[in-house]
Structure 1
Amino acid sequence: MDDYPLIEDHGLIGDLQTAALVTTEGAVDWFCSPRFDSPSVFGALLDRRNGGHCTVRPAHPTHSTKQLYLPDTAILVTRFMTEAGAGEVIDFMPVTGPMATRHHRLVRLVRCVRGTMTFDVEIAPRFDYGRSKHDVHLTQHGAVFVAQDGTELTVHPIREPEDERLSDVLTHREADLQVSLTLEAGQQRGLILETGAEGPPREIRRAEHERLFEETVGFWRSWLTRSRYTGRWREVVERSAITLKLMTFAPSGGLVAAPTAALPEQLGGERNWDYRFTWIRDASFSVYALLGLGFTEEARAFITWLGDRVKERAGSDGNTGPLNIMYKVDGSSDLTEQILDHWEGYGGSAPVRIGNGAATQLQLDIYGEALDSIYFGHQHGLELGHAGWTSLRTDLEWLADHWDQAEEGIWETRGGRQDFTYGRVMSWVAFDRALRLAEANGWPSAADRWKTERDAAYEQVMAKGWSDGRRAFVQHYGSEVLDSALLRMATVGFVSPGDPMWAATLDAMEQELVSDSLVYRYNPDASPDGLRGSEGTFSLCTFMYVDALARAGRTDRARLTFEKMMGYANHLGLYSEEIDPTGRQLGNFPQAFTHLALIDSALTLNAALDKK
């Protein structure tokens, strides 16, 4: 484990089609190309010896490192302080256009800001998750790594004519490259790593690099000016917005759950999943957060993406429904799960999984989340056309016939289907929002049928989802297990925030699922989910708890919980999926769901505090 940086000791950069993680020690240890869900080029995050990396670090002993984002951008600065001097590495990816491309650039500028600094640079790619061998070809102007599968990584040096050529100082060890750069205060060098290059390596002059830098700064700052958020925690909220934008695949509008795969929910455990896909649920939640901040274009892009999924699968009579729970970012649905048994996993946490076998599970809540986001978008001017409404009606016909059955549920359990209360609540939401859309627009509908099913779902939840013994709504029928997914019951309007049954449920959750303001999903010992081991608290659930407390009028407790949660962010304001009892972050990083919930809870809490 000592060989691995902490999960939270990373920053994220990206170009809106793929992304990279950079450690506080100057290593790019995760980068997939040409898309988020493509095979890795650098994967040391999951295997330090065989995964591949690009590292820039001082040759001198380092007293301290600092990492920050250039304000209001996704440009990452990693600073090193030594006795000899101070230096920094500035990392960014120039933003790509809206068309999918194989052409991606990772810019790494090395600068000495005080004294004299020698930087050791090592470039060691491992293509296709380390499964494809490669050769390296040096030229007068740079280098090209060529994998057996045809993938290439081109190295363009950043230099001025008076600087020594990178090719003159590069050393070649097997199929990796090393170089040592000595710089004095004010001097800078660097390199651009490019996949899908259209030509051979070439030397990049400072003027060209500065143009790329200024264009990237301009993009992010211009984009952020569209935010209309003026409440408390503005810096935190806007950093979350930038993080979500970094995880959006621009050509389709699909939002990945995280840019990483197989980071463990328990060190040494088996809960290691691939999150580089678009979940209907997660991305639906993005509509609320994006519209709440004023990012209409991104919300419209996702609703278009969702509409395409509805139209292409409408009418399916499969037993998992007309919608999959997740898709690749381009909308395709082949997510076959594989195990990379040649990789040891982060900190020895095997198996390393790519793909996701949960893609074909039955999770009934996604229909409520999809309809709720479409209805919310419609209220904010994102209109649904005839074809979209026609397809939704077909989905609702399926749901009317199938909502009352066991399923795998929101947490994608692998221990068998259950009658999950949350799935029934969200089925109620699906019918309710469909009825509202039809009535508001005068659209044709099966209103009588939908109303009947909506009311039946409500009555069933109240009869079977409530436990008199626990004085709370429970995870699934016939159980006494609590589930923090049900924190959304008041958010979606199924129960009133002031209902005594809801107040009792919040009290029960506080006693069983809340630990010093951090919230567990559920107790896996009480509700086996088919997997070994335990997990940390879920950051998503903590922010959902804040939202629920604020809606219930418990604003002081909500604010304290929110402020405590701010202390668990990493140094850049980023969150992974979970937090373990020591305060370390666990799971895939950064997680979109968590940052979405942060924004939602900040909006709700800020409004509640303004009313006090």
Structure 2
Amino acid sequence: MEWLEIYTRSRCPLVFGQLLTRVGGGFYQISPSECSGWTPKQLYLPSSNVLVTRFLGAAGGIGQVTDFLPVTSINSKAAGSISDELLRQTLQVNDKAQEKLLPGIKARAKGWPWLVRKVEAVRGSVKFRLRCQPAFDYGRMSHRIEEGETTKSFISDDMTLELSAHPLSLGGGTKEVEWKVVDEQITYPETGQTVQLPMLEGSFELGEHQAIIFLLRQPLDEEEPCPSAETLQHLLHETNDYWHRWLSNCTYRGRWREMVNRSALVLKLMTFAPTGAIIAAPTTSLPETLGGEKNWDYRFTWIRDAAFTVYAFLRIGLKEEAADFMTWIEHRCREIADPDPAGLRLMYDIRGFHPTVKVDAVGGDESILAGELTLEHWTGYKDSRPVRIGNLAAFQHQLDIYGELLDAIYLCDKWVRPISYDFWKIIRDRIIPHVLRRWNDPDHGIWEGRGPPEHHVYSKVMAWVALDRAIRLSQKRSLPGLIPTWTTARDAIYTSVMDGGYNDTLGVFTQYYGGPTLDASNLIMPLVFFLPPDDPRFLRTLERTLLPPKLGGLTVNHLVFRFNRQADDLEGTFTICSFWLVEALARAGKRNPKFLAESRLLFEDIIGYANHLGLFSEEIGLDGSALGNFPQAFTHLSLISAAFNLDRTLG
């Protein structure tokens, strides 16, 4: 395990980060003691986020590690409404433990900051080795290890983690772990800083029907006892059952059900339960080009990405997550000052904070979005520097977010719950006036370029969407609004896009007004009903996109670059663009069988680039490798949308 963050009130959530550095990153490894002679195999349990890693021995033995983050039926309940009896029944705790254990469990009712790893010998006898070395504050903070009677504690100035072993009898007796502390001092040559990062090692041998469950947790207080092995085993069953119950709400029954289900499960993992915020990806600084500098921090809630995720959830009947995000975004909209020239913020951290929001009063720390920090002492993924914390895109003007937001609000009003009058007033009096003021200004666009702003076609289209959905909401719900003013502005944007965003010489919509660059984001036009899918101008843009780059297009081996690039640019293809192409072809295929056949061929080829667990990163490299942050919400939500619409067209 090379990447783990625990989101509590600690200053820095990172626990393990070896994914991004060769030295001082922190990791947690459980594997057979002798690495040679074992073949690993990894899978998710069906319809679940419980991860299983099997080690197949050449001599016939089989070892297994089952990893999960506990979530049970009580997690969705308010802590104050959970009865002690329900908790006793759910967790099967005895009367002696109940007095100390139940208060701690109640405090965790919205989420368990635990990592549980069950290790067992499925066949034969297997010798295992455990190594655990946290790297608090990105490896910049020393820690010490204290060995207690039942737990081993990693203690830093910011966070304490406890690791405990719980032998479980499956009919073959129990085994204990032999522990050893290995002192390690690291000096980073880039900064000269020296830190103490001791490592905990454990060795044990398991025979058939023997298992040990390891629990890594951040305790609430010193008095909280460790749960029993039986309780942890029960949590495994409860967690697996939870995912089965959650996924049973999915209404998709189409041709690619397994891929859609996995994408839905991934998106659910990117939803922060305490607030409803949806992050873009759980990682930072995984490079878009190996050895390049396009290494960005995606561990935040972009309005754009989250709104698209809501759309994906609604497409397959998962309404609760959409409702939770709407509650979260309504709070963000209420924070907009009146008048506020900045409008809604482009992105927030998962707590809902932005650099302009003071958080000291609620016990939090300064928002990580206050800047963009480079970790000089970390070497980067496969030596791809820099490693960044924070994202300066938070301070950009990106007009399109209002279109994605209003589209999500419109769909939630249609499929989840009617918009409240109070929320509508915020939309009418704060959001829409901002769109009216800024739609004709240049911005940095969906790709967040760090050069001068431009009049991006995608952004203008989404400004049109914002006004169009506001008009529809007002008319559908008989809500008071300035319909004539909004309609005039909406039509002006439409005319502006058709006149300024279309290059008559090339015969395509371009990236920005007056530019020569073809941009795959313009494939969104029929998806948001700006243009019909068989509009002549759009079809010419679609057909040009299908051409290979050497002929002025964006597609190579069914994968799509986001825009025309230089010949020496090693950036990979953007998978969301590939799925947008699939969906655009499917919609155009309603009247053109050639496009429909091409759409299905592309889709079934693209999903073959998922990794062994069915997960996608942001990009696919020219060699088929995963590039960019991983897993990526953009990719998985666009997969769901493409599968849904392609299925519907195929019939």
TM-score, normalising length: structure 2: 0.85
1:447, distance to aligned residue in structure 2 (A) = 1.3
1:286, distance to aligned residue in structure 2 (A) = 1.5
Q: Which runs of 5+ in 2 are unaligned?
A: 80-106, 184-197, 356-368, 548-552, 590-594
> Are the counterparts in 1 of residues 280 and 299 from structure 2 also a CA contact under 8 Å?
yes
Correspondent of 2:520 among 467, 471, 484: 484
Q: Which residue of 1 aligns with 2:346?
A: 325
Q: Which residue of 2 aligns with 1:86?
A: 62
**Paired AA for residue 211 in structure 2:** Q
Q: Distance in 2 between matches of 1:71 and 1:456?
A: 50
> What's the CA shift string for 1:69-105, capped at 9, x where partnerless?
1111110000111224111110001027357969511
1:204, distance to aligned residue in structure 2 (A) = 5.2
> Are the counterparts in 2 of residues 341 and 352 from structure 1 also a CA contact under 8 Å?
yes
Question: Structure 1 residue 495 and structure 2 residue 523: aligned?
Answer: no
1:381, distance to aligned residue in structure 2 (A) = 3.8
Correspondent of 2:246 among 208, 223, 239: 223
After TM superposition, the structure 1 = structure 2 runs for residues 559-598 of structure 1, keeping only pairs within 5 Å, are 559-598=600-639
Question: Structure 1 residue 604 and structure 2 residue 645: aligned?
Answer: yes
> Are the counterparts in 1 of residues 508 and 540 from structure 2 also a CA contact under 8 Å?
yes
Question: Structure 1 residue 461 and structure 2 residue 497: aligned?
Answer: yes
Q: Distance in 2 between matches of 1:314 and 1:433?
A: 23
Q: Distance in 2 between matches of 1:38 and 1:495?
A: 46
1:200, distance to aligned residue in structure 2 (A) = 6.5
1:142, distance to aligned residue in structure 2 (A) = 2.1
After TM superposition, the structure 1 = structure 2 runs for residues 361-510 of structure 1, keeping only pairs within 5 Å, are 361-393=396-428, 394-510=430-546
Q: Which residue of 2 aligns with 1:276?
A: 299
> Are the counterparts in 1 of residues 174 and 211 from structure 2 also a CA contact under 8 Å?
no
1:609, distance to aligned residue in structure 2 (A) = 0.3
Cα distance change on mapping 1:181 and 1:203 into 2, 3 Å = farther
After TM superposition, the structure 1 = structure 2 runs for residues 25-40 of structure 1, keeping only pairs within 5 Å, are 28-34=1-7, 38-40=12-14
Correspondent of 2:138 among 111, 123, 129: 129
Q: Secondary structure of 1:231's partner?
A: coil
Q: Distance in 1 between matches of 2:515 and 2:270?
A: 37
Q: Which runs of 5+ in 1 are unaligned?
A: 1-27, 527-531
Correspondent of 1:289 among 312, 317, 322: 312
Q: Distance in 1 between matches of 2:305 and 2:117?
A: 32
**Paired AA for residue 646 in structure 2:** L
1:201, distance to aligned residue in structure 2 (A) = 8.7
Correspondent of 1:69 among 24, 44, 67: 44
Cα distance change on mapping 1:330 and 1:444 into 2, 3 Å = same
Q: Distance in 1 between matches of 2:504 and 2:8?
A: 50
> What's the CA shift string for 1:349-397, capped at 9, x where partnerless?
1110011110111010111111111111111142111121111112111
Q: Which moved more, 1:154-163 or 1:475-484?
A: 154-163
> What's the CA shift string for 1:449-473, capped at 9, x where partnerless?
1111101100011111011111110
TM-score, normalising length: structure 1: 0.91
Correspondent of 1:181 among 195, 204, 207: 204
1:231, distance to aligned residue in structure 2 (A) = 1.1
Q: Which residue of 2 aligns with 1:308?
A: 331
Question: Structure 1 residue 513 and structure 2 residue 554: aligned?
Answer: yes
1:48, distance to aligned residue in structure 2 (A) = 2.9
> Are the counterparts in 2 of residues 314 and 391 from structure 1 also a CA contact under 8 Å?
no
> Are the counterparts in 2 of residues 156 and 201 from structure 1 also a CA contact under 8 Å?
no
Q: Distance in 1 between matches of 2:261 and 2:468?
A: 32
Q: Secondary structure of 1:213's partner?
A: helix
1:233, distance to aligned residue in structure 2 (A) = 0.6
Equivalent residues, number: 573
Cα distance change on mapping 1:283 and 1:423 into 2, 3 Å = same
Correspondent of 2:321 among 266, 276, 298: 298
Q: Which residue of 2 aligns with 1:156?
A: 164
Q: Distance in 1 between matches of 2:416 and 2:117?
A: 41
Q: Secondary structure of 1:497's partner?
A: coil
Q: Distance in 1 between matches of 2:439 and 2:576?
A: 26
1:340, distance to aligned residue in structure 2 (A) = 1.0
1:29, distance to aligned residue in structure 2 (A) = 0.6
Q: Which moved more, 1:39-48 or 1:128-137?
A: 39-48
Q: Distance in 1 between matches of 2:219 and 2:151?
A: 15
Identity of paired residues, percent? 43
Q: Secondary structure of 1:347's partner?
A: coil
> Are the counterparts in 2 of residues 575 and 591 from structure 1 also a CA contact under 8 Å?
yes
1:431, distance to aligned residue in structure 2 (A) = 0.9
**Paired AA for residue 562 in structure 1:** F
**Paired AA for residue 39 in structure 1:** P
Cα distance change on mapping 1:180 and 1:201 into 2, 3 Å = farther
Q: Secondary structure of 1:405's partner?
A: coil
Cα-Cα RMSD? 1.9
Cα distance change on mapping 1:183 and 1:203 into 2, 3 Å = farther
Cα distance change on mapping 1:160 and 1:71 into 2, 3 Å = closer
Q: Which residue of 1 aligns with 2:287?
A: 264
Q: Which residue of 1 aligns with 2:32?
A: 58
Q: Distance in 2 between matches of 1:493 and 1:457?
A: 14
Q: Which residue of 2 aligns with 1:4?
A: none
Q: Distance in 2 between matches of 1:202 and 1:300?
A: 36
